[in-house]
Structure 1
Amino acid sequence: MTSPSSRVSQRIGSIAESATMAVDAKAKALKAAGEDVIGFGAGEPDFPTPEHIVEAAAAATRDPKNHRYTPAAGLPELREVIAEKTTRDSGYQAEASQVLVTNGGKQAVYASLAALVNPGDEVLVPAPYWTTYPEAIKLAGGVPRDVFAGPEQDYKVTIDQLEAARTERTTAMLFVSPSNPTGSVYSPEETAAIGRWAAEQGLWVITDEIYEKLTYDGTPFTSIASIPELAEQVVILSGVAKTYAMTGWRVGWMVGPADIVKAATTLQTHLTSNVANVSQRAALAALTGPSEPIENMREAFDRRRTTIVSKLNEIAGFSTPTPKGAFYAYPDVRQALGRDIAGRTPTTSAELAEIILEEAKVAVVPGEAFGPSGYLRLSYALGDEDLVRGVERIRDLLGSA
């Protein structure tokens, strides 16, 4: 008789569920059970999708042409707009034929890796990393190689670290700026240097730019794809989820050399076909519509960023670098470990996160989801009042610095 553990394929059975989604699901389950839980887990803007985008989608539902299959690679007009946006914002000359519209950013991550990675290929993954990257690499048959940079480096890896991790089996690297989970942003100089290094080593670069519009303190966004030497060995990933408060609409994309995008498109013809047309029409409205709602959201995130860093640094054992982008804070909590907290002594950030949820009713994501233990990720994409209440609950539990 087949045992339950062997009923699932080794390939699928070996991957871990999304830790951020798991934390968010647990927080929502507790809320549904009547608990007053404040969730810092999911990276999801708390704003509604801007009205002009919703109206465009509503109109699209009434147009019969959107009730049918459309090209698997995406609506031609949306691909054209994405190509223009990429050329303008990322400094990468793109044509519509170099764009694949995907079912959210996660599918773009997997599609790009599936198109580029052969079994046994190693992919450099700067850490702390978004929890999906290593699993997507493994699904594609590759081997993730973590390159960790701590808070003393503002969570940004150096060329020396990348070079030390590179082997003869290394074929690609991920580059994420602004970063999930840390909010760190590489400077134009740092970005250019890493891009030139990757080009010299003949590595593919997969750059996730979904937070490109969310930078603060005058910090510029610089796309590594703008480095001329990388033109034929770079793939850009992005989407509308974060900037336009459209996480549930599920529209992402990848942009890169035509042969790679064509291969990923072929995969999509068998996997999902086209993204829902109404969502694509909404994305088109997002990319071509007014920018004021986006700037209003960015300003709110900036305000919350200042508040959360200040309040986190009031907590005993917490040290939080100031993020320059995205909407995450990533405190170093190693000094909070090994202490008695409500009768328990956590030795890992996973144990600390569990205590915080159970005792303070606050959901945070432990560093183990993104690399080494000793850190927590808190999304500040939630209301100002909940943000303050949540961090103060943690402070009341752990004590003041």
Structure 2
Amino acid sequence: IIFSPFWVSFPEFIRLADGEPIVIPTFADKNFTPDFEQLEKQLNPRIKLMIINSPSNPTGAVWDNETIRRLLSYAAKYNWVVISDECYEQLVYDSEFQSIETLNDAGANVITIQSLSKTYAMTGWRIGYAAGDSTIIKAMSKIQGQATSCANSIGQIAAVEALTGDQSAVKVMKKAFLKRRNKMIDRINKTAGISCQTPGGAFYTFPDITHYLGMRIEGKKIDTSFDLSDYILDTARTTTVAGAGFGCEGHIRLSYATDEETFLEGLDRIKQSLMKLKETS
């Protein structure tokens, strides 16, 4: 089970393990929380695993504790393994982050996945770690041993320093991201035809752009978020990511993991391009 919007690799992870993803929709106007009615309809004895990603990529949404506990109760009841992708655990702005395992009163089998890529800006080092049931972790180690031998040794040493060393840089980065988030949300919601809830974590926004779907410019119709992202790239020279790629049409993903001047200019360019669509609709 995965929840849309989902990180683009999640369905392929499942297929590589000879599984088939069951996609459960979420409510965009309710912090992208799961549609539990749809989850109930999809229940079947073949389900083995559920992936939870909070804070989320692409939405930045942070699910509340009640939602997490409710999902864990399903997992415990039906004997599902839960993979908790917590790569953005330190980048939570409006509340204190709680690892899912700390909310696991139901006793579900949780595998927690952590990464050095986001909190410590170590994307190129390709280093992270997992915690969970020892049988599963040992099996994961066997697969990794045959696939890549091990995480690179330099990355391991750097990861230890990142995790055990001075954390002041993380606090500085988090403060900067919070400021950027607020700036980006303010600018997005002042753009006609676009709306976006304030994400609680990560460094993405996932605005609703359905207003512009179906419009035309120079004889070309913008049918999908892929069409809109291509149009923005061509006319505004600004990169966005189509929501359809994350299993959620009608949105685009924006990132504020760059300096404020750059992304504000990008948003201004996007606005100018969208206004041309509006004028020719």
2:116 equivalent to 1:240: yes
2:36 counterpart letter in structure 1: I
- In the other structure, the counterpart of 1:49 is none
- In the other structure, the counterpart of 1:137 is 14
Query: Is residue 191–residue 223 contact of structure 1 (8 Å, CA) maintained in 2?
Result: no
Identity of aligned residues (%): 38
2:4 equivalent to 1:127: yes
Match 1:306 to one of 182, 186, 193: 182
Match 2:63 to one of 168, 183, 186: 186
The alignment covers a number of residue pairs equal to: 276
Query: Is residue 69–residue 106 contact of structure 2 (8 Å, CA) maintained in 1?
Result: no
1:210 counterpart letter in structure 2: C
- In the other structure, the counterpart of 2:197 is 321
Query: Is residue 31–residue 63 contact of structure 2 (8 Å, CA) maintained in 1?
Result: no
Match 1:270 to one of 130, 146, 160: 146
User: Matched residues in 2 for 1:309 and 1:345: separation?
Assistant: 27
Kindly state the Cα deviation for residue 343 of structure 1 after the two structures are TM-superposed: 5.0
Q: Deviations over 1:182-232 (max 9, x none)?
A: 011111222122212221121111100010111112x2322222214335x
Query: Is residue 33–residue 67 contact of structure 2 (8 Å, CA) maintained in 1?
Result: no
Q: Tell me the TM-score normalized by structure 2.
A: 0.94
Query: Is residue 239–residue 251 contact of structure 1 (8 Å, CA) maintained in 2?
Result: yes
2:33 equivalent to 1:156: yes
2:165 counterpart letter in structure 1: G
User: Matched residues in 2 for 1:350 and 1:199: separation?
Assistant: 38
Query: Is residue 341–residue 398 contact of structure 1 (8 Å, CA) maintained in 2?
Result: no
User: Matched residues in 2 for 1:203 and 1:158: separation?
Assistant: 18
User: Matched residues in 1 for 2:186 and 2:178: separation?
Assistant: 13
Q: Deviations over 1:272-322 (max 9, x none)?
A: 112111110000000001111001111111111111111112223211111
Query: Is residue 349–residue 368 contact of structure 1 (8 Å, CA) maintained in 2?
Result: yes
Q: Structure 1 343/216 Cα, relative in aligned 2: closer, same or farther at 3 Å?
A: farther
Q: Name the SS of the counterpart of 1:143 in structure 2.
A: coil
2:196 counterpart letter in structure 1: T
* RMSD between aligned residues: 1.6
User: Matched residues in 2 for 1:302 and 1:137: separation?
Assistant: 33
2:210 equivalent to 1:334: yes
User: Matched residues in 1 for 2:23 and 2:133: separation?
Assistant: 26
Q: Structure 1 224/159 Cα, relative in aligned 2: closer, same or farther at 3 Å?
A: farther
2:66 counterpart letter in structure 1: E
2:27 counterpart letter in structure 1: G
- In the other structure, the counterpart of 1:350 is 226
User: Matched residues in 2 for 1:332 and 1:358: separation?
Assistant: 20
Match 2:87 to one of 210, 221, 225: 210
User: Matched residues in 2 for 1:193 and 1:224: separation?
Assistant: 11
Match 1:381 to one of 244, 257, 275: 257
User: Matched residues in 2 for 1:273 and 1:209: separation?
Assistant: 24
1:327 counterpart letter in structure 2: F
Match 1:175 to one of 27, 52, 64: 52
1:332 counterpart letter in structure 2: D
Structure with more contact order per residue of length (Cα contacts < 8 Å, sep ≥ 6): 1
2:24 counterpart letter in structure 1: V
Q: Which has the larger radius of gyration?
A: 1
Q: Name the SS of the counterpart of 2:216 in structure 1.
A: coil
- In the other structure, the counterpart of 1:12 is none
User: Matched residues in 2 for 1:342 and 1:245: separation?
Assistant: 42
Match 1:195 to one of 68, 72, 75: 72
Q: Which moved more, 1:281-290 or 1:222-231?
A: 222-231
2:18 counterpart letter in structure 1: G
